[in-house]
Amino acid sequence: MSNTPSDIWAYLDGQLSEKERRAFEQKIEEDEALRHQVAAARILDRNLQEREPEQPSMRFVANVMERLPDLYQPISVKPLLSRKALRWAGGILATVLLINISLLWILPTGSTGELPLIGNVQQMLNALPHGWLLPLSALSVGYVAYAVLDAFLERRLLKQPKKA
């Protein structure tokens, strides 16, 4: 390998193969003029690396922001259901379920007179005295499921993108 200025920079830039690097370092050891050249190049390289970026004026960011056109429209990324509504739905659901369970304890299910604590679904439905409890329960469950889905989609919209 002949000693050219580009060899010096290839060496300092880490572009030489392991074999080439060792050979070049051997030459540096043997050649005082080359050693001098490499030292000068190393100082320059270090100073180029250490150069701090220039700073624009204090008004720069404000000037840019003032010139921005209105291109992008804000979109809502908030949940459609407020936390307050969610708490109300949860409360209603809990109350309805509590009433249902209480009724299962209190009311007899038929001729046997046993309490259907661990009865089948049919027994439980039979035990419900009022027709409005079941639809209300279903509505509450559906409402909460909808709220959870809404919150999930909101998080997904803001999910961290995968690295390109």
**Contact set for another protein, span 4-23 (CB under 8 A):** 5-6, 9-10, 13-15
Q: One symbol per residue from 70 to 99: x for binding another protein (CB under 8 A), - otherwise; what is it?
A: -xxxxx-x----------------------
**Residue 58 or 118 with smaller CB distance to another protein:** 58
3 state DSSP class of 95 = helix
Contact between 109 and 127 under an 8 Å Cβ cutoff? The reply is yes
Contact between 44 and 5 under an 8 Å Cβ cutoff? The reply is no
Least Å from the CB of residue 158 to another protein: 5
Alpha helices (H) along 31-82: 32-50, 60-67
**Contact set for another protein, span 34-53 (CB under 8 A):** 35-37, 39-45, 47-51, 53
**Contact set for another protein, span 123-162 (CB under 8 A):** 158-161
- Cα–Cα dist 41/25, whole Å: 14
DSSP state of 156: H
Chosen residue from 1, 29, 31, 56 binding another protein by CB under 8 A: 56
**Residue 113 or 161 with smaller CB distance to another protein:** 161
- Buried b / exposed e across 117-143, counting CB within 10 Å, b at 16+? eeeeeeebeebbeeeeeeebbeebeeb
Least Å from the CB of residue 130 to another protein: 44
Q: Does 58 bind another protein (CB under 8 A)?
A: no
- Cα–Cα dist 90/143, whole Å: 9
Q: Does 64 bind another protein (CB under 8 A)?
A: yes
The phi, psi pair for 13, rounded to 5°, reads: -85, -5
| Residues found near another protein in the complex (CB under 8 A) | 5-6, 9-10, 13-15, 35-37, 39-45, 47-51, 53-57, 60-61, 63-65, 67-69, 71-75, 77, 158-161, 163-164
